[in-house]
Amino acid sequence: MQLTLEDLQARPAAYRRDLINTLPGPRGVHLIGTKGYKGTENLAVFSSVVHVGASPPLLGFIMRPLTVPRHTYHHIKANQWFTLNTLHPDILEAAHQTSANYAIKDSEFAATGLTPQYSDRCKAPYVKESRVKIGLTLEEEHHIGGNGTLFLIGRVQEIFVPDEAVAESGHVDHQLLRTLTVAGLDTYQRTTDPVRLSYARPGNKR
């Protein structure tokens, strides 16, 4: 199959969304936990979390345009803290359900049966059932001119990972944790058969 931008624009919106969203391949998928200024807890699934840098530890994600109320965004702006929580098969249905458009007064924790969990430090709720939990504070916000989305960057303030999943080197074993990835908005996938290579240098031949 071969398409130009013009061909793509002639296709129905749903087709464009699913093609472009699945085209680059599976991505990480996380539940973002937040708390509003009135104390309402909120949870939503996001597939756009990226590594921004390790020193300082920064992670970012894309927020859809603010054409309708985006609870995750408003809560982060109000309280500055948010959490990233990974998915595994036992919580998949509940995690996916958090993408439904609940009223701001309704907690997705209560609606899906996932359990809010707090640390002493973080002002946003973690997902107790998740295996990797990351607490962050809002660092920067960038407006994307091309489509009105926002790129939010958070600074990692604390992490929780099961001991057995972290190697001496610092690598996290996501196969052991059964961490899921996602292609597009609906196709969740397991991470299997990782292949770890040595640091590539010019002249290395394979």
Judged by CB under 6 A, the residue of 19, 52, 58, 62 near ligand FMN is 62
Q: 169 exposed, middle or buried (CB, 10 Å; 0-12, 13-18, 19+)?
A: exposed
Is residue 22 involved in binding ligand FMN (CB under 6 A)? no
Q: Is 92 in the site for ligand FMN (CB under 6 A)?
A: no
CA distances from 80 to 89, 124, 144 (A): 30, 9, 21
Q: Is 197 helix (H, G, I), strand (E, B) or coil?
A: coil
97 scored as a contact of ligand FMN (CB under 6 A): no
Candidate residues 19, 57, 70, 190; the one interacting with ligand FMN per rule CB under 6 A: 70
Residue from the set 22, 99, 137, 191 that interacts with ligand FMN by CB under 6 A: 99
Q: Does 31 sit near ligand FMN (CB under 6 A)?
A: no
Task: Using the minimum distance from each CB to ligand FMN, give the nearer residue, 42 or 130.
Answer: 42
55 contact partners, CB below 8 Å, separation of at least 6:
none
Interaction between residue 27 and ligand FMN (CB under 6 A): no
Whole-number minimum distance, CB 184 to ligand FMN, in Å?
7
The size of the chain, in residues, is: 206
Choice from 28, 33, 36, 63 touching ligand FMN (CB under 6 A): 63
Binding to ligand FMN, residues 146-185 (CB under 6 A)? 182, 185
Q: Does residue 107 touch ligand FMN according to CB under 6 A? A: no
Burial of 165 (0-12, 13-18, 19+ CB in 10 A): middle
**C-alpha–C-alpha distance, residues 7 and 13, integer Å:** 12
Under the rule (CB under 6 A), what is the footprint of ligand FMN?
29, 42, 44-48, 61-64, 70-72, 96, 99, 101, 182, 185
